[in-house]
Structures are given as structure tokens and as C-alpha cells.
């Protein structure tokens, strides 16, 4: 997204509304109780008229397939269906444009829309977690931006304003941030103000003077990604599971389309062709095909990362982080540091080998599992950086982390025993049915025992955790590695779990939940250690909750 000073097309600007006039002094007959005054309106606006052109083009795009099919097949029903789709989509867009209005007060953001069914959405300012902007090529050409308002509900955008002019969107963000700071200042002033002794005598207390408006805060550049880092992000994004998932999905789609049998016949023909060569030549051909597939994956991943995170810059303004990036679709996202629930440094096996990592942050407005990525990359704080660089930037994302002294501890070595037992149980279940079909070849399933034991060794070597004064940190992985940092003040729940094998070995998993649902799991702790650590985390979270009331 370009700077707010870029001239855009004429738009419906935010309409400033004067504050309400003071109420007249009551006479002697007026009751003492008066209704609370409404919050002053800071900004009010509508969608930009150019959104109708965007919706017109989108409606034509949706209707073009049935219309073309109807023309080619001389089918009037397909033509009618395409026309109805076009009219319904365009009609909905016109109705939304005519009815949608948003109002920003000192307390909340209100969004009203609907023609036949009216709805009003009210979002308190202190519940807004993130404010994001998106702008595609067409919207950028028209000077438009999509504003996404996210709360702690974890269901994505709570309100979507598609679309405002760029200046209006930037102004909305500035007013919203200023209103947030003013609300925080009011709460702090009310908490620290002394009690007026006049109130004890029954006389009217003198209201405290309103706090001075906060001064504009400077904007600092925390990190700016280079093209080389973005290329390395695509090259090192090598997850072997992605190949298996993609292959399985492709096979399922082919099966549903009725092409699985034809693919099987093609595979048999390829197999017969390969049998004409020597085993060494077959191995060479298969390695070449695998290299081509991996090269294709690397190229597409690299191009995707370059397009998605082009021009990535991480900024800090006051206590709010801002991210700006994107080539075809530009994005801006604000992330108050006070709303961050968890920060992770994530390394695939290749990134770990090269000493690189990606930094991601979870706010209360969304949840994900480790290694997953929120749509649009909005959870990414650093696309890719050297591990020392990322660790040096952690205090800018999690203030106070620089004061911590972590005493790292490992999990129990019984973890290796547990995985070995699981391998033995799996082998015992697999061998009997295989013995009926393949005879003594089924004994190869015994290799599951050392394989699972080796897996346990890798997991144990990568497992570590530490509890500081304000943060919990966890390191885990198999070949890759993830390091998670969780402020103990954000903890919502602590759960200790034991499976059947864990009960036999005295092991337990400790899972820490924060707002939004992103869990942090500490596997295979000794039961006594898991209970003690869980109690310590819960105690600190409770103290923080009592302090905030």
C-alpha cells in the first residue's frame, strides 16, 4: 500500500462530527439522575463509490463461465443462470454500498449495513486486536483499501470495510490509535486520581480535568527484509510432509473425477517401460524425476514468497508494531505489543542447517499450530533472518524479554523409552496380518522399534523449556526446531495430560493455552515436574489477572 499522501480519486471522506453541546442546567424540579452522555463521534464515513466498479467486474467474472457455456452449447438456461448470477451479485453490492455506514467514537466502532435485514455491529475499542489493510492491483489503481478489524473472537475479521479510499483508511487508523491511547490515559488517570473529600459530604465532586491529548509518537524501523532473505525463505521452505499431502490430495481429486483408473493404467505403462532398463538406470531416472519435482517446488515457493512479502518492513510506533508488504496485493497490519500472546522462532531442517529462522506472532484474534501460517502471512513478524538477528529483535516484539535469565531444562529421557514402546506395540499389531500374506517378510516390521527409538532420541535432544519471571519458553522439534516464548500474564489455562503409556512410565504432557487458542505443548515431562511447573505458571497468571482488575 502506498503512503497516505498519495493522491487518490475523489472519495467520500470521513465526516468529522462536532462534539455534543453541554446539557442545560437542571432546575429544582429536575430529578438528580440524568442519562449518561453519549460518546463524542470522532469519525464517520461510507464506502468509496469506486467499489461499485470493482463489484461490477467481479460480477462479470462470476457470470462469464455459464454465459460462454450457454453460447457454445446454445442453452438458454445457462444464459439465464449467468444473467441471474450477475444481477444478484451486483444488486447485493449496490445495496451494501448504499446502506453501509461506520462510526468511530471514543469508546467503540459501529458498523451499520443491510437493506431488507439491517444489522449494527458494535466493537469496543479495547477489544480490537489488529487493524489490517489489503489492496489488490485493481484497488490500488482506483486508490482503494480493504480495512479488516479483528478482535479476540478468533473467527477472523470481525468487521470488513471494502473499500475505503487510501486517505480515509489511513485517517481511520490514526484516529483509532489515538482513541486507544486516550482511553488508556483516561483509565490510568482515573486509577491514580485521589478521592475527592467533597464526595463524602454529599456535595458534587469536582470532575478531574481531561487528560492532555497524546503527542504524536515517532516511527522506528525495526527490520527491513532484503530480496536475498525472501529468496532464501522460498528455497529453505522444504517440508517433506507437503509433498505427501499434495500427492494424496491430487490422487483423491483424480479419484473423484474418475481419472484414478486411467492414472493407474498410465503408471503401469511407465512401470513396464522402466523395467526395460537396468536397476542402476531406473534409480538414476527416478532420482532425476525427484530432482525435477523438488526444483519445481523450490521455484514456485521462491516466487510465491517474493510476491507475498515483497518490500517487507517491520515498524514500531509507540507500543504498536506495523507490517507492510506485498507486490500484487499490498498489506498493512497493526499489532499492539500488549495484544501479543505468543512469539515463535521456527526453523525447517534446511533453515536450521543454515542458521536461519522465521519469526511469527499470535495475537488474541487468531490461532494456529506450530509451523502453520495465517492466510496472507499476517502472523509473520520476520519472513527470514539469521538466528542471532531474530533473537536480538525479540525484545522489540516482547518488551521485558531482555531482562530474563532462563534456566533451561530438558525433558525426561524416559521419552525415548515411551517411543520405543509405541514402536513395539505398533510392530505387534502389524506383524500378524502381514505374516498371513507375506510370511517371514512380515518380520521386517520389527524395524519399527529402533526407528521409533531413534525418533524419541531426536525429540528428546531438541526438547527444552524454562520458566522465567515473566515468560515461559519452550524448544521442540525433530529435525527442524521451534522456540516459543509465552508471556505468563497471557496464560488462560494449563492442562496436564497422561496417555496410557505415559501413566506406566510416569510421564505427562503440559499444554499452555493463551487467548485465541494457540497452544504451547511441553511433551513427556516427569509427572511431578509437570504438576509443579503447571502450578507455577497458573500462579503467575492468576497474580497478573488480579493485578489487572
pLDDT tens figures, 165-221: 888 888 887 777 777 667 666 666 666 655 555 544 555 555 555 555 555 567 889
> How distant, in Å, are the alpha carbons of 64, 114, 305, 310, 396 from that of 228?
41, 47, 11, 11, 23
**Any idea where the domains of the chain sit in the sequence?**
41-191+213-220, 232-308, 317-413+458-548, 414-457
Q: Which CATH architecture has domain 41-191+213-220?
A: Roll (2.30)
pLDDT for residue 372 is more than 60: no
Q: How far is CA 547 from CA 83, 85, 195, 469, 536, in A?
A: 61, 56, 20, 15, 17
Please, which contacts does 110-114 make with residues 24 or more away whose CB atoms are closer than 8 Å?
Answer: 111/159, 111/161
Considering only CA atoms, which of 363, 367, 295, 439 is closest in space to residue 130? 363
Indicate the average pLDDT of the chain.
Answer: 78
pLDDT class for 5, splitting at 50, 70, 90?
A: very low
207: cell is: 470532575
Number of neighbouring beta carbons within 10 Å of residue 80: 13
What CA–CA distance (Å, rounded) separates 423 from 412?
18
**CA 431/CA 171 separation, integer angstroms:** 68
Mean pLDDT (whole number) for 326-337: 86
d(CA 371, CA 35): 52
Phi–psi pair at 494, nearest 5 degrees: -130, 125
Global pTM value: 0.72
Cβ-proximal residues to 495 (8 Å cutoff; 6+ apart), any chain = 510, 511, 513, 534
Are 407 and 466 within 8 A, CB to CB?
yes
Q: What share of the chain is helix, strand, coil (3-state, %, to 5)?
A: 50, 25, 25
How far apart (Å, rounded) are the C-alpha atoms in residues 51 and 92? 12
When pLDDT is cut at 50, 70 and 90, the band that residue 315 belongs to is: very high
| pLDDT bucket at 280, cuts 50 / 70 / 90 | confident
Amino acid at each position: 500500500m502506498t503512503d497516505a499522501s498519495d493522491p487518490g480519486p475523489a472519495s467520500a471522506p470521513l465526516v468529522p462530527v462536532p462534539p455534543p453541546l453541554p446539557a442545560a442546567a437542571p432546575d429544582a424540579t429536575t430529578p438528580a439522575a440524568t442519562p449518561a452522555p453519549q460518546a463524542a463521534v470522532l469519525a464517520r464515513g461510507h464506502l468509496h463509490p469506486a467499489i461499485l466498479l470493482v463489484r461490477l467486474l467481479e460480477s462479470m467474472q462470476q457470470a462469464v463461465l455459464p454465459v460462454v457455456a450457454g453460447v457454445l452449447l446454445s442453452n438458454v438456461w445457462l444464459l439465464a443462470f449467468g444473467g441471474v448470477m450477475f444481477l444478484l451479485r451486483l444488486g447485493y453490492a449496490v445495496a451494501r454500498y448504499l446502506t453501509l455506514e461506520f462510526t468511530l467514537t471514543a469508546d467503540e466502532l459501529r458498523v451499520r449495513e443491510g437493506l431488507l435485514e439491517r444489522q449494527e455491529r458494535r466493537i469496543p475499542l479495547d477489544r480490537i486486536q489488529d487493524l489490517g489493510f489489503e489492496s489488490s492491483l485493481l484497488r490500488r489503481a482506483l486508490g482503494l483499501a480493504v480495512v479488516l478489524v479483528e478482535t479476540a473472537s478468533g473467527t477472523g475479521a470481525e468487521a470488513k470495510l471494502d473499500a475505503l479510499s487510501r486517505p480515509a483508511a489511513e485517517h481511520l487508523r490514526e484516529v483509532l490509535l489515538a482513541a486507544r491511547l486516550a482511553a488508556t490515559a483516561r483509565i490510568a488517570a482515573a486509577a491514580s486520581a485521589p478521592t475527592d473529600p467533597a464526595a463524602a459530604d454529599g456535595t458534587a465532586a469536582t470532575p478531574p480535568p481531561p487528560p492532555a491529548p497524546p503527542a504524536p509518537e515517532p516511527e522506528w524501523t525495526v527490520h527491513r527484509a532484503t530480496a536475498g532473505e525472501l529468496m532464501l525463505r522460498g528455497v529453505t521452505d522444504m517440508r517433506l510432509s507437503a509433498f505427501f499431502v499434495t500427492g494424496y490430495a491430487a490422487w483423491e481429486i483424480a479419484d473423484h473425477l474418475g481419472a484414478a483408473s486411467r492414472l493407474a493404467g498410465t503408471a503401469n505403462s511407465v512401470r513396464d517401460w522402466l523395467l526395460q532398463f537396468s536397476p542402476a538406470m531406473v534409480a538414476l531416472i527416478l532420482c532425476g524425476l525427484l530432482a525435477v519435482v523438488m526444483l519445481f517446488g523450490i521455484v514456485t515457493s521462491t516466487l510465491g514468497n517474493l510476491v507475498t512479502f515483497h518490500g517487507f518492513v517491520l515498524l514500531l510506533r509507540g507500543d504498536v508494531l506495523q507490517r507492510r508488504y506485498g507486490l500484487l496485493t499490498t498489506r498493512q497490519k497493526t499489532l499492539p505489543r500488549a495484544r501479543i500472546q505468543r512469539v515463535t522462532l521456527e526453523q525447517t531442517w534446511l533453515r536450521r542447517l543454515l542458521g536461519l529462522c522465521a519469526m511469527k506472532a499470535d495475537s488474541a484474534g487468531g490461532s494456529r499450530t506450530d509451523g502453520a501460517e495465517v492466510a496472507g502471512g499476517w502472523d509473520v513478524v520476520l519472513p527470514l533472518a539469521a538466528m542471532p538477528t531474530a533473537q536480538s529483535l525479540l525484545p522489540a516484539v516482547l518488551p521485558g524479554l531482555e531482562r530474563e535469565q532462563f534456566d533451561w531444562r530438558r525433558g525426561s529421557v524416559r521419552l525415548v523409552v515411551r517411543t520405543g514402546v509405541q514402536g513395539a506395540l505398533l510392530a505387534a499389531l502389524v506383524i500378524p496380518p502381514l505374516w498371513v500374506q507375506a510370511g517371514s517378510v512380515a518380520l521386517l516390521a520389527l524395524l519399527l522399534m529402533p526407528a521409533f527409538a531413534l525418533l524419541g532420541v531426536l525429540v528428546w535432544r531438541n526438547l527444552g523449556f524454562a520458566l522465567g519471571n515473566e515468560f515461559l519458553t519452550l524448544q521442540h522439534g525433530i529435525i527442524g526446531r521451534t522456540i516459543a516464548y509465552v508471556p505468563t500474564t497471557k496464560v488462560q489455562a494449563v492442562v496436564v495430560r497422561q496417555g496410557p503409556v505415559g501413566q506406566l512410565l510416569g510421564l505427562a504432557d503440559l499444554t499452555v493455552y493463551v487467548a485465541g487458542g494457540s497452544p504451547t505443548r511441553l511433551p513427556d515431562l516427569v509427572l511431578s515436574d509437570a504438576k509443579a511447573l503447571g502450578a507455577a505458571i497458573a500462579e503467575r497468571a492468576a497474580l497478573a489477572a488480579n493485578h489487572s482488575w
